[in-house]
């Protein structure tokens, strides 16, 4: 084995070890350590290479990157999760607190504020929505923090009663303007999308918009269209986002910021996927599946929908491989939930019997 090969092997192992905490935040520590998972690791599938355009900046030795977005607005990432923060004369306004970033959030803040002689204490924490993977490190910042979120976020967090993510102290329904430390932040709720409480965080003085879990710049959607609870709302959200004036997009995931072009590509992807699903629903004949599994409707429906999904995603995966990272990874699950939304929400393919 050559020295160069040794080095590549070492770097690959190091990258895998560095990624483990981040992966654990996505799938859970138990799944990472299970014997069954280890046993199946010898026969893993290949996927298309990740295009360089999907990747963000290199992480530091502590496993994070912090950078300026515009003026006194910054972002911090571990390559999979993103938070943002606004430094002000009165303290720091934090936008989300992913547990995968955890203590590195404060380290990133200190890295920015201390050389500038600014206060490093987080005084306000804005929740994008109630999901633990984005706000589960909230408790790290103590009780003397004003937490702000949507009314539904408060209801859901009160229901869940997780001490790691205290419910918001201040809430709003449709719109609220915040003025903190001389800075202006606009909070908007424009209807359910990824979750019922997911909001648009607009920073007009910094030409930035934060909308979490609706799209990941440079990447095809995560499973089930980013685990969207309201598929039709999630499909409309990029168009809603583009109505705001901004130049920098904070999507909450992966290792880079987004542009308006990223949202347009995402819109094209989901439009193509929907068009192909509509075509597949029209051309795939369900009769053979129901004939084969006449006494087992679940098997008939499953195999029929599997074929609908396979027919629909093939041209989409071909078109977007090399354009969006992981276009071939979760396309099947996203196509499935979109097909069900077309059927159940919009009535596509439904026939009223005589």
3-class DSSP state for residue 200?
A: strand
Decide if pLDDT at 22 tops 70.
no
What's the pLDDT tens digit per position in 65-94? 999 999 999 999 999 999 999 999 999 999
pLDDT band at 57 (very low <50, low <70, confident <90, very high): very high
Mean pLDDT of 31-46: 68
Beta strands 170-172; 146-150: pairing state: parallel
Give the predicted TM-score (pTM) of the model: 0.89
pLDDT (0 to 100) of residue 40: 60
Tell me the average pLDDT across 316-332. 98
Identify any residues that bridge with 77 across adjacent strands, giving them in sequence order. 65, 82
The SS3 call for residue 191 is coil
Mean pLDDT of the chain: 92
| pLDDT tens digits along 258-273 | 999 999 999 999 999 9
Per the structure block, which two tokens stand in for 318?
Answer: 């071909």
Q: What average pLDDT does the segment 129-149 reach?
A: 98
For residues 36-58, average pLDDT:
85
Question: Mean of the pLDDT values across residues 278-291?
Answer: 96
Residue 353 banded pLDDT, cuts 50, 70, 90: confident
Task: Put the strands of the sheet holding 200-203 in their side by side order.
Answer: 175-180, 183-188, 200-203, 208-210, 248-250
User: Furthest-apart CA pair in the chain: how many Å?
Assistant: 76
Torsion angle defined by CA atoms of residues 240, 245, 250 and 251, in that order, rounded to the nearest 10 degrees:
20
Please name each of the domains of the chain with its CATH number: 54-258 (3.60.15.10), 269-344 (no CATH)
Per DSSP bridges, beta strands 122-126 and 146-150 are: parallel
The pLDDT score that the predictor gives to residue 209 is 99
Look at residue 9 in the predicted model and tell me its pLDDT.
39
Q: Does the pLDDT at position 16 exceed 90?
A: no
**Residue 1 pLDDT exceeds 80:** no
Q: How confident is the model at residue 42, as a pLDDT? A: 74
330 HSE (CA, 13 A, CB side): 16
The confidence score (pLDDT) of residue 309 equals 98
Determine the average pLDDT of the residues in 244-269. 98
Q: Per-residue confidence at 19, pLDDT binned at 50, 70, 90?
A: low
**Residues near 313 by beta carbon (within 8 Å), at least 6 away in sequence:** 273, 276, 331, 332, 335
Which pLDDT score, from 0 to 100, does residue 31 have?
54
**Where residue 350 falls among pLDDT bands split at 50, 70, 90?**
confident
Q: 3-state class of 185 per DSSP?
A: strand
Does residue 8 have a pLDDT over 50? no
Inform me whether the pLDDT recorded for 18 exceeds 90.
Answer: no
């Amino acid at each position: 084995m050559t020295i160069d090969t040794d080095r590549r092997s070492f770097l690959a192992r190091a990258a895998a070890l560095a990624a483990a905490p981040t992966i654990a935040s996505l799938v859970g520590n138990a799944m990472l350590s299970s014997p069954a998972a280890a046993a199946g690791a010898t026969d893993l599938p290949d996927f298309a290479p990740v295009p360089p355009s999907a990747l963000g900046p290199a992480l530091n030795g502590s496993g994070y990157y912090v950078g300026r977005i515009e003026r006194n607005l910054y972002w911090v990432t571990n390559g999979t999760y993103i938070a943002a923060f606004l430094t002000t004369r009165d303290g720091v306004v934090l936008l989300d607190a992913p547990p995968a970033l955890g203590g590195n959030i404060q380290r990133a803040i200190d890295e920015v504020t201390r050389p500038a002689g600014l206060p490093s204490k987080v005084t306000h924490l804005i929740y994008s929505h109630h999901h633990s993977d984005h706000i589960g490190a909230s408790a790290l910042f103590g009780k003397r923090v004003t937490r702000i979120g949507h009314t539904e976020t408060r209801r859901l967090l009160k229901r869940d009663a997780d001490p790691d993510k205290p419910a918001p102290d201040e809430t709003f329904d449709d719109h609220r303007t915040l003025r903190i430390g001389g800075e202006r932040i606009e909070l908007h709720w424009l209807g359910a999308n990824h979750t019922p409480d997911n909001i648009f965080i607009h920073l007009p003085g910094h030409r930035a918009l934060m909308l979490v879990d609706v799209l990941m710049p440079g990447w095809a959607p995560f499973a089930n269209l980013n685990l969207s609870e309201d598929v039709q709302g999630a499909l409309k959200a990029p168009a809603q986002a583009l109505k705001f004036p901004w130049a920098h997009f904070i999507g909450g995931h992966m290792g880079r910021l987004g542009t308006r072009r990223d949202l347009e590509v995402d819109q094209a992807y989901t439009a193509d996927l929907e068009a192909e699903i509509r075509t597949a629903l029209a051309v795939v004949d369900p009769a053979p599946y129901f004939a084969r599994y006449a006494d087992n409707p679940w098997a008939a429906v499953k195999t029929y929908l599997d074929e609908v999904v396979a027919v629909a995603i093939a041209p989409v995966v071909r078109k977007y491989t090399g354009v969006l990272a992981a276009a071939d990874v979760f396309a099947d699950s996203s196509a499935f939930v979109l097909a069900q939304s077309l059927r159940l929400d919009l009535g596509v393919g439904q026939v009223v019997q005589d």
